[in-house]
Chains A and B, each alone.
Chain A
Amino acid sequence: MSFNDELVSLLPPKYKGRLSITGSNTGKRLELYIDPCDVRSILKAVYDAGYNHFIGITVVDYPMENVFELVYLLSSIERNGELLAIRTKIKRDEPFIDSVADIYPLAYYQEIEGYEFFGIIFRGHNGLRKWILLDNWEGPPPLRKDIDTRQIVLEIFYGGKRYERPRQWRSLGGYSGLERGGENE
């Protein structure tokens, strides 16, 4: 893998030195750290440089550092599936970033995921709503690190006890409610 000259020439001067090659095996990739305000201009430049195949947005929550890291994964089919990861960090208490849905059509749906699972607001996106989580979950975005869904589920369905069958409120049939087995530990 080598640096793509076209890509380097299209990048703004401030980012020219920041491009690096990392990873191994199938994860070998070009990486670029950018500031969140430049996300639209960089992704437009990258699209023109041939990285027009959008793979996805990975959002990582770091509550200790109070940031969300967004990793835009793009690949170029002309350059034989070369992977480009564009990383940016936004503040956790002000989760705003520009939408790129008009450059990459698939980003529209990936951004909805980012909104419903992490609560990131993509500015300029016209359809931020609950999409997958509709009817399935009410409350704050569940994939944030400070929401302990396992504890919530344990409290509600299992009475706080692990390794037990769920606490049932009623049974319409098919369950005698008898617990078999020896004495509990």
Chain B
Amino acid sequence: MSKALTIFLGPQHPGAPGNVAFKLVLDGERVVDIDLIPGFLHRGFEKMMEYRRWDMDLVMCPRICVEDPDHVELSYTHAMEQIFDIEPPEKAKYIRVIIAEFSRLASHLLWMMHFAGPIAARYATSWAIAAREEILKWFDYVTGHRIYHHYIFPGGVRWNIPGDFEEKTLKVLKVIEPLIKDLDRGFFHHPIFIKRAQGVGRLKASDAIRLGATGPNLRGSGVQYDLRKSLRYDAYGEIDFEIPHGEYGDAYDRALVRLREMYTSIYIIRQALEKMPYEGPYRWKLPPTLPIGEGIGRVESARGEFVAHIISAPSNPLSRSLTPYRIKFRGPTMPHLTTILKHIVANEEITVADLPILIGSLDPCPPDIDR
């Protein structure tokens, strides 16, 4: 019986998923317990947004999750539209779908880097980043920025799409699709990767639901649950697609779900381009003051369910307010890095060497815990 050893992993560690630390309790090689140490990225968003006008808050909110900013904007926008009690124009719905799916693609490609890096598959990281670069250039062209776009706006999208939107988009898809296919062949079917990832971090479907997993991590366990399908928000109701899901719920399944989601995203974008009405308004004019109300924006982000809960109440009873009264964001990463990691480590023999694969397969984005 060896003595338990407590060590820290991160925040400065090449295998750490961003600026977040873990406290590990080790018994020999095996990790017995794992505790999250968050707070390195805490900025107090929820308080800062209470001071700013609602349109300025849209500029704030993508900074919550830098890897997948458009879904944060989308959830905020959905909540705001419920407070204003409006429906976005038809054209904007399709543009939002395309923007959100590209954001998902970019996020999954960045995840490839986080995941393949610790296994020392430098070729995979390089291809993924090259494919992501094409998407960032496309974002730069359509929205005006590479990372933080501020494009999805309450009442539609912020400005009209450029004239050659369709050709540009198809061109980007034409570049990135072969790269993803090569990743599929070169990385996901590589025997070394399969041996490292298969059987690591098994998560049963019932546990995944109980512990609060969402997104690809839940679908990797075999649960066919996707908010795009079940809520049919924006134009997802008119688009026909399948939800990829895994079987065993191990790291390999979760990775494979993300890979298939990339194909699904490309498929959705192609379909949305076909069905999109290119004429018509793209944005409604909204009043500067907020009505009293409450909105909950739930979207399926790249990592899972992202919820923005906005409450608009007058801070003094005489005037209508320009700022929301309270905003709460619930990111998908919190259950993944706390309850699920603890559960897997307690029920399975995870060594220190497996930990980067396990954490990588959960695709965490630490800033949405800290906010």
Contacts and interface: CB of A to CB of B under 8 A. Distances in A.
Contacts of B87: 25
Contacts of A77: 209, 223, 225
B326 A61 contact: yes
B211 A105 contact: yes
A108 B343 CA distance: 14
A133 B335 CA distance: 18
A107 B309 CA distance: 17
Contact of A143 (B46, B78, B210): B46
A73 B305 CA distance: 12
A60 B211 contact: no
A54 B212 contact: yes
Interface in B318-333: 325-326, 328, 330
A25 B233 contact: yes
B39 A132 contact: yes
Range for the number of chain B residues in contact with chain A: 35 or more
B209 A133 contact: no
Interface string B347-371: 0000000000000000000000110
Contacts of A24: 82, 85
A124 to B, nearest CB: 18
B79 interface: yes
Contact of B339 (A71, A73, A106, A132): A106
A130 to B, nearest CB: 9
A142 interface: yes
B44 interface: yes
B299 to A, nearest CB: 7
A25 B210 contact: no
A81 B231 CA distance: 8
B26 interface: no
Contacts of B227: 26, 81
Contacts of A142: 44, 47
A99 interface: no
A33 interface: no
Contacts of A117: 46
Contacts of B294: 23, 27
A11 B138 CA distance: 52
B11 interface: no
A52 B39 contact: no
B339 A109 contact: yes
Contacts of A89: none
B225 A136 contact: no
B51 interface: yes
Interface in A62-96: 62, 71, 73, 77, 80-81, 83, 85
Contacts of B297: 26-27
Contact of A26 (B223, B233, B328, B369): B233
Contacts of B334: 106, 109-110
B298 A26 contact: yes
Contact of A135 (B39, B48, B211): B39
B39 A131 contact: yes
A19 B328 CA distance: 23
Contact of A60 (B38, B51, B212, B325): B325
A24 B305 CA distance: 18
B314 to A, nearest CB: 10
Contact of A56 (B39, B51, B79, B307): B307
B330 A56 contact: yes
Contacts of A85: 296
Contacts of B2: none
Contacts of A7: none
Interface string A132-161: 111111000011000001100000000000
Given A60-B311, A81-B298, A106-B335, 16 more contacts: A23-B82, A25-B78, A25-B82, A25-B87, A27-B296, A27-B297, A52-B209, A55-B307, A56-B328, A59-B328, A73-B309, A105-B343, A132-B38, A132-B370, A136-B39, A143-B46
Interface of A: 23-27, 29, 52-56, 58-62, 71, 73, 77, 80-81, 83, 85, 104-106, 108-110, 117, 131-137, 142-143, 149-150
27 contacts: A23-B296, A25-B82, A26-B233, A26-B298, A27-B78, A53-B209, A55-B307, A56-B330, A58-B309, A61-B326, A71-B309, A73-B307, A73-B309, A77-B225, A104-B210, A104-B212, A105-B212, A105-B343, A106-B339, A109-B334, A109-B338, A109-B339, A110-B334, A117-B46, A132-B369, A136-B39, A143-B47
